[in-house]
């Protein structure tokens, strides 16, 4: 006896919720609160889509609570979306989102009890009020926003330029709910104390070359004639050369400075002279147009301490064969190529070294600054016999103050510094 079963299946005949039916019913909620004020709420349930009933319900459920303006003396309206309490009674898992356009409860925390009656216009099985929808609900209002709101603006505006129209504070206070004006005590203090940081970004290297010459610096000298005894004592002559010996790399801006040394100047002029004898025996001399400005120079620096010697030697090694800026002890600026960093340094005394190196280049008219300017930098210039000491602090007024007083009035030379590069000012 054998039975073979090839298939075993089950089928269920069942009534299901009517998910395709549009169910629209009004939920009328009436409540009288402790303050004797009747509140009315209405809710529209539906339409019900083809999805789950619960989902469709809470999507469209709206409840509006209207407070008679005559009783409260206020024309106010509060709109509550998916009022809490309703959600729990219906078990719909709805999203609770209460938007109350009010800042304060009228009396105290008030429980708003709502009794509801749902009327279905036609029989929808299993959607009767005593089964699926328990529309007897209690909505408790526990949301009590604070009546006082302090809005503090901690801001500071500090601008050197136009600032009046940049900070506009527009405050609007709406008090639409419950009691009168006393409840709405919006004391707002606006402190405008914002610091606006002005950042200046300059991606380009701001360089400047300023040169000016004092045509008649000697006009200020007064020569006193004296003969014999008496007369005015000669004013002590002070060395005017406060310049330093400066080497600066054009490539990376590295600077090496030595204290105003005595250079034992020796300038070696090298040029080719072409002498040619013509048939008639007369010599003609030709010169190169540039030979005058191409100068080979040998610098000998004595009495260097070891650390300064190392720094200088490193610079000379790093920039061998490169154009560098050289400002000599007289303040004359040269653009030179280091041709020989020197090979033998001697220690003349204990800890004091002498070195020499060779460069070749030409003098630069005026004075050369390659310092990358920051607006907080303080630039100082050492003067030469033609260019005197100047220092300045760059500020946002873009003026360069110099302690150079040609005519004694203390004013800086006009257009001494002209920032013409692209500089973006970012004001935060």
Binding residues for another protein, per CB under 8 A?
1-21, 122-126
Q: How far is the CB of 131 from another protein (least distance, A)?
A: 9
- Output DSSP code: residue 237: P
Nearer to another protein, 16 or 426 (CB): 16
For 371-379, the CB contacts below 8 A with 24+ separation are 371/207, 371/253, 372/205, 372/206, 372/207, 372/253, 373/202, 373/206, 373/207, 373/208, 375/200
Cα 56 versus chain centre, distance = 50
CA-nearest of 294, 290, 342 to 316 is 342
Cα 374 versus chain centre, distance = 16
Q: How far is the CB of 120 from another protein (least distance, A)?
A: 10
Nearer to another protein, 12 or 232 (CB): 12
User: Hey, is 223 helix, strand or coil?
Assistant: coil
Beta bridge partners of 362: 335
Q: How far is the CB of 128 from another protein (least distance, A)?
A: 10
Nearer to another protein, 4 or 225 (CB): 4
Q: Do 296 and 269 touch, CB atoms closer than 8 A? A: yes
Q: How far is the CB of 25 from another protein (least distance, A)?
A: 14
Q: How far is the CB of 17 from another protein (least distance, A)?
A: 6
CA-nearest of 187, 147, 181 to 72 is 181
Cα(332)–Cα(368) distance, rounded to whole angstroms?
9
β-pair type (283-286, 274-277): antiparallel
Q: Do 406 and 214 touch, CB atoms closer than 8 A? A: yes
Q: How far is the CB of 53 from another protein (least distance, A)?
A: 10
Nearer to another protein, 128 or 418 (CB): 128
CB 427: neighbour CB atoms within 10 A?
A: 15
Q: How far is the CB of 65 from another protein (least distance, A)?
A: 33
Nearer to another protein, 123 or 414 (CB): 123
Nearer to another protein, 18 or 144 (CB): 18
Q: Do 299 and 356 touch, CB atoms closer than 8 A? A: yes
Nearer to another protein, 13 or 239 (CB): 13
């Amino acid at each position: 006896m054998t039975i073979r079963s090839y298939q075993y299946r089950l089928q269920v005949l069942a009534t299901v919720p009517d998910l395709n039916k549009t169910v629209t019913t009004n939920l009328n909620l009436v409540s009288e609160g402790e303050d004797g004020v009747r509140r009315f709420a209405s809710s529209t349930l539906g339409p019900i889509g083809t999805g789950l009933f619960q989902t469709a319900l809470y999507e469209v459920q709206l409840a509006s609570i209207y407070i008679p303006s005559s009783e409260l003396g206020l024309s106010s309206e509060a709109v509550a979306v998916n009022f809490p309490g309703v959600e729990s009674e219906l078990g719909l898992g709805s999203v609770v989102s209460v938007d109350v356009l009010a800042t304060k409860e009228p009396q105290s925390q008030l429980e708003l009890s709502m009794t509801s009656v749902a009327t279905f216009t036609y029989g929808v099985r299993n959607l009767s009020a005593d089964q699926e929808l328990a529309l007897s609900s209690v909505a408790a209002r526990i949301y009590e926003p604070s009546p006082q709101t302090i809005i503090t603006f901690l801001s500071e505006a500090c601008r050197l330029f136009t600032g009046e129209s940049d900070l506009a504070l527009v405050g609007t206070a709406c008090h639409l709910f419950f009691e009168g004006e006393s409840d709405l005590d919006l004391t707002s203090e606006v402190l405008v104390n914002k610091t606006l940081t002005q950042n200046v970004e300059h991606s380009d290297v701001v360089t400047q070359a300023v040169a000016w010459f004092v045509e008649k610096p000697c006009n200020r000298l007064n020569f006193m004639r004296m003969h014999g005894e008496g007369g005015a004592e000669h004013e002590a002559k002070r060395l005017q050369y406060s310049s330093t010996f400066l080497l600066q790399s054009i490539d990376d801006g590295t600077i090496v400075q030595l204290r105003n040394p005595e250079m034992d100047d020796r300038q070696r002029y090298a040029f080719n002279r072409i002498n040619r004898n013509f048939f008639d025996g007369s010599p003609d001399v030709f010169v190169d147009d540039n030979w005058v400005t191409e100068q080979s120079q040998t610098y000998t620096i004595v009495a260097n301490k070891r650390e300064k010697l190392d720094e200088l030697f490193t610079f000379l090694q790093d920039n061998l064969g490169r154009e560098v800026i050289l400002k000599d002890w007289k303040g004359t600026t040269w653009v030179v190529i280091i041709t020989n960093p020197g090979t033998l340094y001697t220690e003349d005394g204990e800890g004091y070294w002498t070195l020499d190196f060779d460069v070749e280049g030409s003098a630069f008219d005026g004075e050369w600054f390659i310092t990358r300017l920051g607006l907080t930098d303080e630039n100082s210039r050492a003067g030469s016999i033609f260019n005197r000491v100047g220092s300045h602090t760059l500020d946002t007024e873009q003026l360069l103050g110099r302690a150079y007083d040609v005519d004694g009035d203390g004013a800086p030379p006009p257009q001494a510094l002209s920032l013409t590069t692209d500089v973006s000012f970012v004001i935060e």
